[in-house]
Amino acid sequence: MRRRRGPSLLATAVVVGGTTAVVAGHSQKKAAQQQAAAQQQQAATQQAQAAAAPATPDYTAELQQLAQLQQQGVITQEEFEAKKKQILGI
């Protein structure tokens, strides 16, 4: 029987399998890094948009507080109406 020279079929399979695992691990690591970078960029964009957008006042809450003060008798109907117009910009 003649002996083959070089690595056996099993040894070749182990080397190929190990190389495939290394390449796959590298690809997964690279994809994870890209995903993390994209998430960081998205978070930075959202923060910049939040900082750039002016804060909108909560007119409803202010008007409800004024209505409560008026119902409690702390302010008059005329004062309530004047402040409501001021808040709404009328």
pLDDT (tens digit, 9 = 90+) per residue, 1-35?
566 665 565 555 555 555 555 556 677 888 888 88
**How many Cα atoms are found within 13 Å in the side-chain-facing hemisphere of 56?**
6
pLDDT of 78: 93
Distance CA 88, CA 90 (A): 6
Q: Could you tell me the pLDDT band of residue 60, with boundaries at 50, 70 and 90?
A: confident
In this prediction, residues 51-69 reach a mean pLDDT of: 80
pLDDT of 88: 85
Contacts of 76 (CB under 8 A, 6+ apart): 70
Alpha-carbon Rg of the chain, whole angstroms?
A: 35
Closest CA to 31 of 17, 23, 42: 23
Contact 35, 41 (CB under 8 A): no
